[in-house]
Amino acid sequence: MTRATIRFAALVCVLAGLLASPNARAEGGLERVKRAGVLRWGGDLQGGEPFVSQDPGDPTRLVGFEVDIAAGIARVLGVRPEFVENDWSTLVPSLERGGFDVAMNGLEVMPSRAARVSFTRPYYVFTERLIARKGDARVRASLAALAGLRVGTLASSYAFELLRDRSEVVVYEGTEEPYLDLERGRTDAVLLDDIIAARYGEPNPALSVVGDVAQGYYAVAARKSEPDLVAAIDGAIAQMAASGELEAILRRTALWSAREEKLASWTPADQLLMTGGPASDAPPAGMTPRHVLLFIQGALMTLLVSTLAMMLAVPLGLSLALARRWGPRWLDLSAGFYVELYRGTPVLLQLYVLYYGLAPVVRINALTAAVLGLGMNYAAYEAEAYRAGLQAVPRGQMEAAVSLGMSLPLALRRIILPQAFRHALPNVTNDFIALLKDSSLVSVITVVELTKQMTITAVDVRGWLLPGLLCAALYLAMSWPLSFVARRLETRLARG
Amino acid sequence: MITIEKLAKSYAGGGPILRGVDVTFVRGQVVAIAGPSGAGKSTLLRCINGLEAFDAGSIRVENDTLVPGGDRTNAQALAAIRGRVGFVFQTWNLFAHRTALANVMEAPVHVRKTAVSEARARAESLLERVGLAHRANAYPHELSGGEQQRVAIARALAMDPAALLLDEPTSALDPSRKGEVLAVLRALAESGMTMLLVTHDIAFAREVAHRAVVIAEGRIAADGDPKHVLAPEE
């Protein structure tokens, strides 16, 4: 074996070790929790009030009905609760990896989740609430009536499962943005859990509730390999429901209604119905040709956004570089300010401002905002690449050009820019490849591109490995030829 | 044809480099401009075609006059002067991304809008005149310094200048390469081209120049027959 193959083999071993499930432990889950004296529960503070959030009066303290329920469960188990912050969209994979003992943060019970983790009996019965603009008669309170409409919801949510294949779904990552876009007419309706609708949608005077179209449950999720922990938490919730403690907790955050009475009279049959049949050992759905097609669509969207953004960034960046090198002082200063502003602030923030922040002034669609946002951001980097390229052209070239009677624009076009471009090309190529990958950020303004498609598919097929590899392969398939063409171009230019 | 009056210039943050230069150059003359390093020879030359701005005085080339500052008032005069006065740099400054032939064709085609076929024929004959017809398709980095300088001379001649300004055209060259450039300049001088030649090469100046101007400390120190003004090198 050569040294390279040994190194490769070692790398494979390390990767295999990382991928191996850490769940295989001799000790049971309940035993571990009791020995540690701590029930570590995962959630996302960003979900905000009333789930889990920082106490506005004392930010070191957490408040919310889930905090109280976790405390109740821990008390019954005889341990102390400990909150672990984790991005909401990755709660399930983090639970599987062993980041915490249970996940509890508005996790809706649905078949795709029930196949990966075990759910306890529910601690809250929610409804999917449909909200539309006031007086919009097209939106009626049934799922069937949503066919063909543009409906906003959260990624990986129960509502998303209900809407896909039925409506044109617009996927958001935050709870406020769906209602902002609805108000501005970018969508026709928003379907989300009643708690979110009540907090973020209903207070908006331009919107009104159309009705509740489905019912579902929040329950505590635990690893499938730890049925003893699930049983213990089941017992704890049952005890809290029977004693009226659960009702008191839900009443404190105004979440109690008649439908929550079901929580106290929960039966094993209800549990079976909720999780979509007997705990299935059926293999996960797996990737289908349809998924691959969606991936290719996502890749094309990535390519479209990146290419259009680069087509904007290159001329804009060039203008900025020229303004800084040869423009009058005020233009030089403005261009310098532009570059510092766009390089010095996160592109994510720029996309938010462009799409949500400016919406009251100019209403542009998501794809346009994505192209403009990325293009204007990358223009700042292109400006620097060209500036370096311009600086690399010796002074004498410009002197020779003007001494032959060339005007400044002619000298730039014929003599300086072709040479500057040659110096800048490696950086411009790097930037385009970086842009291909940065384009995944536009998913925050509801554009579904390759990375977003991967996270959606990962939930579908209950695994990250295959979608992740396919996603990586598609990114490589786009960036590799680009590097190749750029190298060829560099060689060709270097000859001249 | 070139009249310079009371020309003065200081470099920002430095002392004065020209302290009031009055001199006139007439058509058909080859004038050597000599003097110690840093005396202002090159600056004088660069002021004439506007590569450097100046602080006081004026420069008139035929009917066009340059005055201090005011880029806009000078722009038209400058364009006219640059069209009539060619410049040859110490370090050639050939366009690095163009072949020798394309370097020579560039200005006639894009500034003067000469037809490409006509410009090409003229460029080929100019390259032949400087002895480089066989190197027409070479890029600057493939040429020796002497060859590059000869292409640069052909490039300046392509605009049919009434006068040629040469800023130490041989001082960046290996001694073994100077001869080929000097031969080209000698032939040009014999053809009657008006030339202002900044040089340290006293022997060559004495040989080809009709007149020598010596600049020292930003002023004209001597002006006259090169045989008298320029002392032969020891």
Domain boundaries, chain B: 2-93+163-229
B71 confidence band (pLDDT: 50, 70, 90): low
Q: For A404, which of B96, B97, B107 is closest by C-beta distance?
A: B107
pLDDT of residue A284: 52
pLDDT digits (tens, 9 = 90+) for A51-99: 998 888 888 899 999 999 999 999 999 999 999 998 888 888 889 888 8
Q: What angle do CA A361, A366, A370 make, to 5 degrees?
A: 100
Interatomic CA distance for residues A227 and A279, integer angstroms? 12
- Give every CB contact of residue B55 below 8 A, 6+ residues apart in sequence: B8, B9, B10, B68
Give the three-state DSSP class for A126. Answer: strand
CB A125 within 8 A of CB A145: no
pLDDT of residue A25: 45
Q: Is the pLDDT of residue A114 over 90?
A: no
Q: Looking up tokens 């009705």, which residue turns up? A: A211
User: Torsion angle, CA of A269/A272/A274/A278, rounded to 10 degrees?
Assistant: -170
Q: Do B159 and A404 touch (CB under 8 A)?
A: yes
CB A317 within 8 A of CB A385: yes
Q: Is the pLDDT of residue A136 over 80?
A: yes
Q: Kindly state whether residue A8 falls inside one of the protein's structural domains.
A: no
Which of A229, A252, A278 terminates a domain? The answer is A278
Q: For A399, which of B51, B107, B110 is closest by C-beta distance?
A: B51
pLDDT of residue A58: 86
CB A191 within 8 A of CB A104: no
Q: Do A410 and B89 touch (CB under 8 A)?
A: no
The CATH number that domain B2-93+163-229 falls under is: 3.40.50.300
- Which residue in chain A is spatially nearest to B79 when comparing CA positions? A405
Query: Which residues of chain A neighbour B110 with C-beta distances below 8 Å?
Result: 406, 410, 414
- Average pLDDT score over residue span B141-159: 95
pLDDT of residue A93: 83
Q: What is the CA radius of gyration of chain A?
A: 28
Q: Are residues A52 and A104 in the same domain?
A: yes
Q: Is the pLDDT of residue A15 over 90?
A: no
pLDDT of residue A308: 95
- Average pLDDT score over residue span A348-354: 91
Q: Is the pLDDT of residue A278 over 80?
A: no
- Average pLDDT score over residue span B9-37: 90
pLDDT of residue A23: 46
Q: Kindly state whether residue A431 falls inside one of the protein's structural domains.
A: yes
CA of B160 to nearest chain A CA: how many angstroms apart?
11
Q: Kindly state whether residue A455 falls inside one of the protein's structural domains.
A: yes
pLDDT digits (tens, 9 = 90+) for B9-20: 988 777 889 999
Q: For A399, which of B83, B93, B155 is closest by C-beta distance?
A: B93
Q: Looking up tokens 């004065």, which residue turns up? A: B16
Q: Are residues A227 and A105 in the same domain?
A: yes
Q: State the ipTM, two decimals.
A: 0.94
Mutate to test the interface with A, among B74, B111, B126, B148 (most CBs of A within 10 A): B111
Q: Is the pLDDT of residue A4 over 60?
A: no
Interface of B with A (CB under 8 A): 49-51, 79, 82-83, 86-87, 89, 91, 93-97, 106-107, 110-112, 139, 152, 155-156, 159
Q: Are residues A133 and A245 in the same domain?
A: no
What phi, psi does B22 have (nearest 5°)?
-120, 120
Mutate to test the interface with B, among A403, A417, A492 (most CBs of B within 10 A): A403
- Average pLDDT score over residue span A401-430: 92
Distance of CA B97 to the CA centre of its chain: 23
Interatomic CA distance for residues B26 and B142, integer angstroms? 38
Q: Are residues A415 and A266 in the same domain?
A: no
Q: Are residues A233 and A272 in the same domain?
A: yes
pLDDT of residue B231: 79
Q: Are residues A161 and A200 in the same domain?
A: yes
Query: Which residues of chain B neighbour A409 with C-beta distances below 8 Å?
Result: none
Which of A190, A217, A244 terminates a domain? The answer is A217
Domain that holds residue A65: 30-123+218-278
Q: For B107, which of A399, A405, A422 is closest by C-beta distance?
A: A405
- Which residue in chain A is spatially nearest to B75 when comparing CA positions? A407
- Average pLDDT score over residue span B189-209: 92
Q: Kindly state whether residue A3 falls inside one of the protein's structural domains.
A: no
Mutate to test the interface with B, among A395, A402, A404 (most CBs of B within 10 A): A404
Q: For B95, which of A410, A415, A422 is closest by C-beta distance?
A: A415
Query: Which residues of chain B neighbour A422 with C-beta distances below 8 Å?
Result: 97
B148 confidence band (pLDDT: 50, 70, 90): very high
Query: Which residues of chain A neighbour B107 with C-beta distances below 8 Å?
Result: 404-406
Burial class (CB within 10 angstroms; exposed 0-12, middle 13-18, buried 19+) of A278: exposed
- Average pLDDT score over residue span A309-313: 95
Report whether the peptide linkage leading into residue A50 is cis, meaning its omega lies within 30 degrees of zero. yes
pLDDT of residue A5: 55
- Mean per-residue pLDDT of chain A: 87
Taking the alpha carbons at both ends of chain A, their separation in whole angstroms is 44
Report the domain count for chain A.
3
Query: Which residues of chain B neighbour A419 with C-beta distances below 8 Å?
Result: 96-97
A175 confidence band (pLDDT: 50, 70, 90): confident
Q: Kindly state whether residue A138 falls inside one of the protein's structural domains.
A: yes
- Give every CB contact of residue A25 below 8 A, 6+ residues apart in sequence: A32, A225
Alpha carbon of A197 to those of A75, A204, A261: distances in Å? 31, 10, 21
- Which residue in chain B is spatially nearest to A422 when comparing CA positions? B97
Q: Do B82 and A415 touch (CB under 8 A)?
A: no
pLDDT of residue A26: 55
pLDDT digits (tens, 9 = 90+) for B204-226: 999 999 999 999 989 999 999 99
- Give every CB contact of residue B157 below 8 A, 6+ residues apart in sequence: B86, B126, B129, B164
Q: Kindly state whether residue A369 falls inside one of the protein's structural domains.
A: yes
Q: Is the pLDDT of residue A2 over 70?
A: no
State what percent of residues in chain A have pLDDT above 70: 92
Please report, for the domain that includes residue A138, its CATH number.
3.40.190.10
Query: Which residues of chain A neighbour B91 with C-beta distances below 8 Å?
Result: 396
Q: Do A405 and B79 touch (CB under 8 A)?
A: yes
CB A129 within 8 A of CB A91: no
Query: Which residues of chain B neighbour A401 with C-beta distances below 8 Å?
Result: 95
- Average pLDDT score over residue span B163-182: 92
Q: Kindly state whether residue A298 falls inside one of the protein's structural domains.
A: yes
A279 confidence band (pLDDT: 50, 70, 90): very low
Chains A, B: CB contacts within 8 A come to 56
Q: Do B96 and A404 touch (CB under 8 A)?
A: no
Q: How many CB atoms lie within 10 A of CB A391?
A: 13
CA of B183 to nearest chain A CA: how many angstroms apart?
23
Q: For A496, which of B94, B111, B139 is closest by C-beta distance?
A: B139
Q: Do B156 and A404 touch (CB under 8 A)?
A: yes
What is the pTM assigned to this prediction? Answer: 0.74
Give the three-state DSSP class for B178. Answer: helix
Mutate to test the interface with A, among B42, B93, B103, B126 (most CBs of A within 10 A): B93
Taking the alpha carbons at both ends of chain B, their separation in whole angstroms is 35
Let me know how long chain A is: 496
Q: Are residues A170 and A254 in the same domain?
A: no
CB A219 within 8 A of CB A119: yes
Burial class (CB within 10 angstroms; exposed 0-12, middle 13-18, buried 19+) of B12: exposed
Q: For A414, which of B79, B106, B139 is closest by C-beta distance?
A: B106
CB A133 within 8 A of CB A190: no
Q: Are residues A486 and A469 in the same domain?
A: yes
Q: How many CB atoms lie within 10 A of CB A218?
A: 24
pLDDT of residue A285: 60
pLDDT of residue A8: 56
Sort strands B194-198 and B30-34 into parallel, antiparallel or unpaired.
parallel
Q: Are residues A230 and A83 in the same domain?
A: yes
Distance of CA B46 to the CA centre of its chain: 9
Mutate to test the interface with A, among B43, B72, B105, B106 (most CBs of A within 10 A): B106
Mutate to test the interface with A, among B45, B52, B88, B110 (most CBs of A within 10 A): B110
C-alpha closest to that of B31 among B222, B232, B179: B222
- Mean per-residue pLDDT of chain B: 91
Q: What share of chain A is helix, strand, coil (3-state, %, to 5)?
A: 60, 15, 25
**Least-confidence region, from A24-38, A387-401, B34-48, B181-195:** A24-38
- Give every CB contact of residue A172 below 8 A, 6+ residues apart in sequence: A152, A153, A154, A155, A178, A181, A446
pLDDT of residue A490: 82
Spell out the alpha helix ranges (H) of A353-449. Answer: 366-391, 395-403, 408-411, 417-438
CB B108 within 8 A of CB B159: yes
Q: Are residues A302 and A436 in the same domain?
A: yes
pLDDT of residue A126: 94
